[in-house]
């Protein structure tokens, strides 16, 4: 049903699937439970025994590791969502061959939510293993030489979070609505929720901002901040009689709502923790990269390291807190060394922009090359520096074609996983282009596929003989 010359079919036979399964199997092993003590009486008197301990055989068996890893690869290689990747998998024969299937199956491989749970179980170390495998596969098929990993280009970008553009009016209204909703959910009865007035004020604020009537807008914001403070104090008075679990969850929301209540567009909240740009994602930061089309981006700073020659990604890492670029270089090169450790090669030269000035001591003995050293560079190093801009289209493709433009995963851990998986998806498409360029063929055929092919050849050889017999009769 498929053309074995298809680059994805060729890549399916070139990927080290047994090594991937072996490295990820410990993360997916069943965990032993501690159990609980229980008194049991026998002929010798009461004795304490441990019940419900050890490994449990209950539950449905896990899906094959190769299937779930292939779904993660395909999702980020072709910029699909968890829902769309399983639907497209059920319609695509080549994708199923890449996932290890022997026969076409017109069904969903799993529920979309299982991809999210599998990604969470892998963690940052597991997804880095997936990125590492793509790098080693590129060396194995001779698409890149080991010597190319000695020079890397490093740059940072912003991985934006899936949040609406933060405005004071919207944040105050969202905080009021969610606080009133949670108070009712835990059994509290606020004296007044200001639901109708809150919606009216939100609509007025949008109209005044559009008409640039800022004096009226400030008046509306003061009223929104007032009613939010009234609701906060009412909930704080009535929450003392709640159960411990309900009080803790409500207190966590109250802390975030208090930060929004205290901050304004001009200044942060008095706690010194910075502004809160989304109630559901407190880790989001406002980062300005100097773009005329987008002065501010809301997300997390992300660093990418690519090879100097062919642009294969050899490192992707997030840095919460919006640190100075030069302070991220040592950690990024450390991750790159980890990913390349099985290839017996290390980066010796890092080519960067002027944002990394002053980081020479942090990354020694790796040589740092940037435009600020132009008078001290040799002719060869100047030629290397001319390719520094090669990282920019890589960043653009990772964002637009592989999903780094917007991160939908929860928390700082979700940001870290998403960045590495987007890099792995980019490398997978890089491998497909390299296979098509080199004209590689399928390396091997499995036993079952070989049996099917043999049966087809036998039937094809017998067909002329059968036709001859029928003609003679």
pLDDT of residue 268: 67
pLDDT of residue 286: 93
Contact 63, 28 (CB under 8 A): no
332 to 95, 163, 165, 313, 362: CA distances (angstroms): 32, 27, 30, 12, 11
Q: Kindly give the confidence (pLDDT) of every residue in the chain, 473 residues in length, as a single tens digit, with 9 standing for 90 and above.
A: 789 999 999 999 999 999 999 999 988 887 777 777 777 766 666 777 777 667 777 777 889 999 999 999 999 999 999 999 999 999 999 999 999 999 999 999 999 999 999 999 999 999 999 999 999 999 999 999 999 999 999 999 999 999 999 999 999 999 999 999 999 999 999 999 999 999 999 999 999 999 999 999 999 999 999 999 999 999 999 998 889 999 999 999 999 999 999 988 767 666 667 789 999 999 999 999 888 888 999 999 999 999 999 999 999 999 999 999 999 999 999 999 999 999 999 999 999 999 999 999 999 999 999 999 988 999 999 999 999 999 999 999 999 999 999 999 999 999 999 999 999 999 999 999 999 998 888 875 554 555 555 665 666 666 655 444 444 54
pLDDT of residue 62: 86
pTM: 0.87
432-437: Cβ within 8 A, 24+ apart: 432/7, 432/8, 432/11, 432/77, 433/7, 434/138, 434/141, 434/143, 434/144, 435/7, 435/10, 435/11, 435/14, 435/141, 435/143, 436/7
Only one residue has tokens 């690869």, namely 73
Q: Nearest to residue 420, comparing CAs of 433, 405, 404?
A: 404
Strand duo 151-160 + 349-351: pairing:
parallel
Peptide bond preceding 72 in cis form (omega within 30 of 0):
no
pLDDT of residue 178: 95
Q: Give me 43's structure tokens.
A: 């002929």
Q: Nearest to residue 331, comparing CAs of 339, 346, 347, 319?
A: 319
Q: Which residues, 6 or more positions from 125, have their beta carbon under 8 angstroms from its beta carbon?
A: 27
Only one residue has tokens 């998998």, namely 89
pLDDT of residue 121: 94
Only one residue has tokens 């934006």, namely 160
pLDDT of residue 10: 95
322: left (phi over 0), alpha (psi -120 to 50) or beta: left
Around 116, how many Cα atoms within 13 Å sit in the side-chain half-sphere? Answer: 10
Q: Give me 185's structure tokens.
A: 């959910």
């Amino acid at each position: 049903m498929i053309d074995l010359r298809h680059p994805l079919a060729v890549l399916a036979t070139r990927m080290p699937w047994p090594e991937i399964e072996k490295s990820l199997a410990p993360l997916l092993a069943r965990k032993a439970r501690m159990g609980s003590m229980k008194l049991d009486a026998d002929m010798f008197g009461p004795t304490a025994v441990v019940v419900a301990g050890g490994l449990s055989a209950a539950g449905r068996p896990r899906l094959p590791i190769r299937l779930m890893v292939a779904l993660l690869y395909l999702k980020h290689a072709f910029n699909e969502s968890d829902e769309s990747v399983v639907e497209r998998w059920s319609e695509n024969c080549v994708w199923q061959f890449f996932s290890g299937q022997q026969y076409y199956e017109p069904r969903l491989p799993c529920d979309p939510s299982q991809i999210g749970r599998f990604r969470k179980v892998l963690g940052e170390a597991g997804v880095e293993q997936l990125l590492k495998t793509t790098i080693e596969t590129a060396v194995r098929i001779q698409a890149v030489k080991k010597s190319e990993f000695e020079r890397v280009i490093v740059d940072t970008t912003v991985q934006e979070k899936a949040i609406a553009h933060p405005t004071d009016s919207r944040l105050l209204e969202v905080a009021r609505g969610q606080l009133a909703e949670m108070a009712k959910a835990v059994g509290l009865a606020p004296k007044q929720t200001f639901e109708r007035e809150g919606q009216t004020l939100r609509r007025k604020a949008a109209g005044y901002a559009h008409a640039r009537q800022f004096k009226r807008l400030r008046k509306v914001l003061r009223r929104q901040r007032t009613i939010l403070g009234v609701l906060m104090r009412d909930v704080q008075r009535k929450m003392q009689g709640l159960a411990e679990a309900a009080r803790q969850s409500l207190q966590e929301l109250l802390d975030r709502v208090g930060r929004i209540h205290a901050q304004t567009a001009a200044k942060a909240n008095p706690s010194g923790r910075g502004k809160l740009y989304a109630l559901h994602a407190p880790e989001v930061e406002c980062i300005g990269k100097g773009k005329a089309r987008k002065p501010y981006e809301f997300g997390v700073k992300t660093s990418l390291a690519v090879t100097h020659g062919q642009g294969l990604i050899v490192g992707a890492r997030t840095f919460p807190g919006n640190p100075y670029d030069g302070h991220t270089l040592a950690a990024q090169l450390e991750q790159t060394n980890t990913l390349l450790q099985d290839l017996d090669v290390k980066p010796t030269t890092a080519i960067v922009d002027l944002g990394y000035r002053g980081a020479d001591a942090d990354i020694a003995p790796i040589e740092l090359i940037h435009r600020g050293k132009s008078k001290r560079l040799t002719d060869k190093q100047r030629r290397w520096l001319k390719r520094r801009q090669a990282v920019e289209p890589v960043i653009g493709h990772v964002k637009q074609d592989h999903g780094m433009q917007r991160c939908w995963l929860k928390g700082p851990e979700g940001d870290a996983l998403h960045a590495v998986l987007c890099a792995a998806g980019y490398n997978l498409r890089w491998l497909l282009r390299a296979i098509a360029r080199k004209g590689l063929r399928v390396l091997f055929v499995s036993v079952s596929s070989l049996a099917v092919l043999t049966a087809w050849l036998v039937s094809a050889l017998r067909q002329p003989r059968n036709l001859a017999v029928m003609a003679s009769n």
